[in-house]
Amino acid sequence: MEQFIEFAAENWYLFVALVFILGWLIGSEVLHKFRGITSVTPVQALQLINHEDAVVLDTRDASEYKLSHLPGARHIPANTLQNRLQELQKFKDKPIIVYGRVGTSPTSTCAQLKKQGFTAVHSLNGGLPAWHNANLPTSKK
């Protein structure tokens, strides 16, 4: 135990970073739960698409969307969502799966949809890279 305390004292910046990262990870999950947003794996997303006719929403910019996206995904960039909500109104009672840019979370988009009364909003955990890693099909159309 003494060695641990000595190590921690000599490398305090590592422990500060560890606490920050753990806090961020835990806080992110708590925020998702608090907002009523669930994260789904690519396989769970595929089940929602196939069995519950889920709507897939791609919030990336146009150049990223053109490179590759989930089949049937509706393209509404995150910065235009507020102006284009009427396009999604008919899907209020269907599951919606949101994914965005690599390294960012579509939490704010999901929160906006929940605030507008969408009942089942899900975030695709890992985004498009996770979809690719699961060997699921993508589209360029």
- C-beta separation of 140 from 66 below 8 A: yes
- Residue pointed to by tokens 């910046």: 13
pLDDT at 88 (0 to 100): 94
Global confidence as pTM: 0.75
Task: Please tell me the predicted confidence (pLDDT) of residue 81.
Answer: 92
Looking at residue 2, its pLDDT comes to 86
CATH code assigned to 36-133: 3.40.250.10
Residue closest to 98 by CA, chosen among 34, 33, 54: 54
The C-alpha atoms of residue 17 and residue 6 are separated, in whole angstroms, by 17
Q: What is the pLDDT of residue 90?
A: 93
Residue carrying structure tokens 């899907």:
91
| Three-state SS sequence of 62-130 | HHHHHHCECCCCEECCHHHHHHHHHHHHHHCCCEEEEECCCCCCCHHHHHHHHHCCCCEEEEECCHHHH
Q: Which of 71, 117, 74 lies closest to 98, judged by CA?
A: 74
Q: Provide the pLDDT for residue 43.
A: 96
* Predicted confidence pLDDT, tens digits, the chain (141 residues): 888 888 888 888 888 888 888 887 776 666 656 666 788 999 999 999 999 999 999 999 999 999 999 999 999 999 999 999 999 999 999 999 999 876 456 778 888 998 899 989 999 988 999 999 999 999 987
CA distance 99 to 78: 10
Which pLDDT belongs to residue 107?
Answer: 78
